[in-house]
Structure 1
Amino acid sequence: MRSIVAAITGRYILLLVLAIIAIGFSIARPETYGTWDNFRSILNTQIPVLFLAIAATLPFIVGEFDLSLAATGAFVNVFFVGLVLKQGWPVWAAVITCLAAALAMGLFNGFAIVRLGISSFIVTLASGTILAGILLAYSGGEIIYGDAPAALTFLGRTSLGGLPLPVIFAAIVSVFLAIVLWGTTVGRRMYASGSNRRAAQLTGIPTNRYLIVTFVIAAVLAAVAGLVLGSRLGSATPDTSNTLLIPAFAGAFLGATGFSAGRFNIPGTVVAVFIVGAAVNGLQQIGAAIWVQPVFNGVVLFVAVALAQWTQRLRAASAKRERLREIEALAKHDAETHSKAPAA
């Protein structure tokens, strides 16, 4: 019975933590926190972080890092808004251009890692820094704002059935990716590539192809985060990446401690992002100082990485014990079969 309770608690621990945070701050600030408008606001404001966290989760699954994601999101945010407000481009043209740029960045990262053999940490750190420099040159380090047309803010400020469109879009993307990763051959091959790439290659899995495609999808998701942010605000800030990177990675690592403990997974990432968002929103409402939010985000990232590594070790130890039991059972079966065999 205890093992069953422990398994259920471990699998759904993130949902429990989210419920505790929501209930606790609702009791502390029932007139402001515990309202549908506030919960809807949390959902909406966390969507850019959610897309970035999902984007970060995918390279983790195949055993790599992508530190350029926040810079990609900020790059797209600045150029999307800038091309429309400063250069007068049609919104659709700006969207296509920004997505194409993100796709090219994903291809660059993937090919540099696969073909040149450079560490993903170095490649994506360098490409992200380059993007940050380009957007600073374009914006001059100043906020881009103006009379935003309705087409620019349509996605970010339109609701359907009481929910903002970005929330609905993010839900569809999250469910689709969760199904792909957990229920298809593609997902199993991605996890296999991340757990033991050499063994995956020996079984015929084209790990390099999966790695490149993963980096492309991650870059496009980061671009979507920038598009959603620009559409919601109708403006762009050059230093956006500084505020998005840590929460996104915290969500990805914290998400690995639930649902499929020890493995990066989409449902865990989604819940973890809203845990961080709900907690930050609550801290702001009880009057926490402005420095509390970055400190909180840093602490969450540290704890999330530690917990993710701990659960991975537990998962590996459990798998090893299960394998040993299988070997012992097989050896026992062979011994019994041998003892029952008639003498020659």
Structure 2
Amino acid sequence: MSIALPKPLLPGKFQDAAITLKGERRATVAMTGLRTLWFNTGTLCNITCQGCYIESSPRNDALSYLSAADVTTFLDEAEADGLPLEEIGFTGGEPFMNPAMVPMLADVLARPGLRALVLTNAMQPMRRYAPALLELRDRFGTDRLTLRVSLDHFDAVHHDAERGEGSFAKTMEGLAWLAREGFRLNVAGRASFGGQDEAAMRAGFAQLFAAHAIPVDAADPVALMLFPEMDARLDVPEITEACWGILRKSPDSLMCASSRMVVKRRGAAAPAVVACTLLPYDPQFELGATLAEAARPVALNHPHCARFCVLGGAACSR
């Protein structure tokens, strides 16, 4: 099934890549050096979440599975061009739905200096690769491989309302297994989910982690990432060039200054490089077929750019 996501319901806003609705010059972000490269392994997922920004599900194959050869091609390009690459992230869908996930990880970890980050719900797709993951751990150690487990809330009722009945228990089983086996762990939750503020969320997660011997510091904003809500239909200010000074924020701090994502659209002959993990479908953020082509500046012409990155201060990697 292919999908076309609706355009943001913000009349007049985010229509022109260069100029805002008020006629001001839109902010852009130049590439300072590619340090994080994401691969969307495919939009298929074992569950359907109510608020999934990419609408992953057991039926959505709008983004096809990447192959191990696809990943190798981009890693080789980065190496040949001397890019300052530090981290490779894998997202989906559920990355462990992709049958090439373990070879992809092995390729990354076999390259000196590269870290690997996998975003997973830690449910059945991951667990079926338990022997292969243990083999990776024994071969490469745990210092350069992090698994970030999606746990929307510390309470099963709230989490299951988003991800389906019983999903909290299954994710906790996977998270506990990863902890017992010594894998490096992060957790991703939602900043204001369930009506709690961030302090309450972190306190609740801290109690959950302590009760289950999960070695994640809930006070650490990287170890426990709490992401702002993403709804492109809600009103949000457009980001102009003047905003950098007003907000006292550098464009170099945004994801698109140092990261890109590789996707493969259903039916496409080859993968494409897009500006970031949040905007895999919008054609204006498809930047080219190679990392070199995709190194051009990015116009912040989408509500996610404003709400998530500039005003929310969030990032998908460390």
Structure ranking higher in helix proportion: 1
User: Which structure is higher in strand share?
Assistant: 2
- TM-score normalised by the chain length of structure 2: 0.24
* Higher Cα Rg, which structure: 1
